[in-house]
Structure 1
């Protein structure tokens, strides 16, 4: 029995792990083990956000770490994760992101000569001052299997001298959205009615980036949203609410909706006119639902969406936010429906590629 170990280092990755778990269970000679590495203070979504998803997952170990220093955090994760690897003795390790926890486990995998796979490999924002960019490059170069979702991510890896390790499989979140399509539609009907919203008549805003919660930036972002005179629906959560209240920031007529579940979020994206966000996940999900997306940062890892002109980068500039909400209108002809693959059999293809090298 060969063991595949998934490292779940962000709660948002749970959706991907669920699909991999289902695929591994189809094979009698494979076992799937899951280890969660959590940094509670950095999470913006609580456990209830994923209600109805992954309750049947068997987690072998939860590692909880809290350190402000990057060096201390990295060392603590490595120490705790090493003992877990010695206990589980995996034949393959699968990473779902490129945060510090993923980097720590990748370093251990190399030292212990355990084959490593990286989902969503090849993502680059080309900003070497970004820790996430460096982590992503390092994890990719330490991995034996690199699972890419687009041709652009493949090109990024090839340009760095990586070729034989690449596998183009598509996107796991797109597969999840297709699986949950009916549930999302049902959720949308109830949500729109509850909040008195009409399809294509509101702009959905989501602010997660830590830097954007600083008072100066947050105030400019919210002012830009308000000045558009559009109906703005803002997804709220504890840290954002605290930042708004603590700094006495005016939110005008913005409609606040608690970000309570992943199905609710997808339902609101699917019915919005536009999406305004700063998270890599929603940038991509906006594209899945064919929504013009205004990004509250000056870089993105989804350069293929930017190239297709379905995304615009505005950072925290009030005027650019306002103008983009009003005027940004991509051409229908530039939309590529299968940019991220078809969304079918993604998890099965990933597990098949892992199985081949075990």
Structure 2
């Protein structure tokens, strides 16, 4: 059996790592990198660090409008699928690469397996929400990370070949956490070895925040009020928009430490030792929960509602005063529930795919 795996963005390389390791010896895997994230620090570094097989194809699509990017991916993926003739196509998450992979496959009547299926933010202004809904409705196998994601699919009348397998990122966290904690270079470089649990970690990348000058100003403005160091691995696109809106002055505070995007192991290290994480990333929200680090989410909703229901994640939107208040009043609960499975979602997925019969 041959599977074509479609990846292209930072989170997808991380999710693909534990599953690719499990696929070896069971199924033939052909990896397609769309090149959606084209910066070395956002793509190749993850392939090298996580020892992923080198992609068999790289479409090198790069940064474009949603329509242009998705269209170029569709053309390139279709050509590869016609050449490789796989039994199934594997897609991850909710990016344009995910949508292009699922649409190209569905048009060619090739079954699609969607890892991280069933997530819903119920905000269709998010491109990711459109991508995940369309992908779920074109998929033949739907691998859900949580009970809530299964319920979301049921409410949309998707009930066939839906599997609750746990979260693949929890597999990755367990697989690489010890290695990440042994890697102290990022903390040493930032002179933070004595500041563990005494700094904030910030990530911003979603268009709803970066492309709105008022929201971006409000989020950055709160940084100037905080009394702890703020480590900010800044996404290239976020830096571009900060400059575009002339907001660079908001990054001048002595407590703000700007760094380039970091590798997965360095990010796990920074997350593990942070006192609190501020983010608009779904993946970082999850990692914060998995590492038992309090999280403040810079959005008005989350697809990971279980993290808020269990008290480890606060939804704060983008109002500067409200974010500041939450940061200073946030007290995580004493209890902790393992909501993302047992860390063997990759094994469960491989077992299901191994029994596939065309």
Alignment TM-score, normalising by the size of structure 2: 0.90
How far apart, in 1, do the equivalents of 2:32 and 2:121 lie? 28
Q: 1:192 aligns with which of 183, 187, 192?
A: 187
262-271 or 237-246: bigger deviation: 237-246
Q: CA deviation at 1:51?
A: 3.8
Which residue is 1:145 aligned to?
A: 141
39-48 or 147-156: bigger deviation: 39-48
202-211 or 233-242: bigger deviation: 233-242
Q: CA deviation at 1:46?
A: 4.7
The superposition leaves residues 146-203 of structure 1 with CA deviations (integer Å, 9 ceiling, x where unpaired) of: 111111111111111122311111122211121222211112x443343232221111
Which residue is 2:249 aligned to?
A: 249
Q: CA deviation at 1:10?
A: 1.5
How far apart, in 2, do the equivalents of 1:143 and 1:17 lie? 18
Q: 2:280 aligns with which of 278, 281, 302?
A: 278
* Cα contact 1:44–1:208 (8 A) shared by 2: no
Mapping of 1:52-63 within 5 angstroms? 52-54=49-51, 57-63=53-59
SS across alignment from 1:227:
coil
The superposition leaves residues 63-113 of structure 1 with CA deviations (integer Å, 9 ceiling, x where unpaired) of: 133574544443332222111101000001111122233222222322322
* Cα contact 1:50–1:261 (8 A) shared by 2: no
The answer on 1:9 being equivalent to 2:8 is yes
Q: Figure out how many residues of one structure are paired with residues of the other and give that number.
A: 350
SS across alignment from 1:332:
coil
Change (3 A) 1:50 1:356: closer
How far apart, in 1, do the equivalents of 2:176 and 2:76 lie? 35
Which residue is 1:154 aligned to?
A: 150
* Cα contact 2:177–2:265 (8 A) shared by 1: no
Q: CA deviation at 1:243?
A: 4.2
Alignment TM-score, normalising by the size of structure 1: 0.90
Q: Show structure 2 runs of 5+ residues with no match.
A: none
Q: Show structure 1 runs of 5+ residues with no match.
A: none
SS across alignment from 2:114:
strand
Which residue is 2:300 aligned to?
A: 298
132-141 or 262-271: bigger deviation: 132-141
Change (3 A) 1:73 1:46: closer
Which residue is 1:208 aligned to?
A: 205
Q: CA deviation at 1:41?
A: 6.7
* Cα contact 1:277–1:295 (8 A) shared by 2: yes
The superposition leaves residues 262-321 of structure 1 with CA deviations (integer Å, 9 ceiling, x where unpaired) of: 111110100111100111110111111111111111121111112222211222211011
Q: CA deviation at 1:42?
A: 8.9
* Cα contact 2:177–2:268 (8 A) shared by 1: no
The answer on 1:179 being equivalent to 2:197 is no
The answer on 1:234 being equivalent to 2:229 is no
How far apart, in 2, do the equivalents of 1:67 and 1:45 lie? 12
The superposition leaves residues 227-249 of structure 1 with CA deviations (integer Å, 9 ceiling, x where unpaired) of: 13233222234444444456232
Q: 1:81 aligns with which of 77, 91, 95?
A: 77
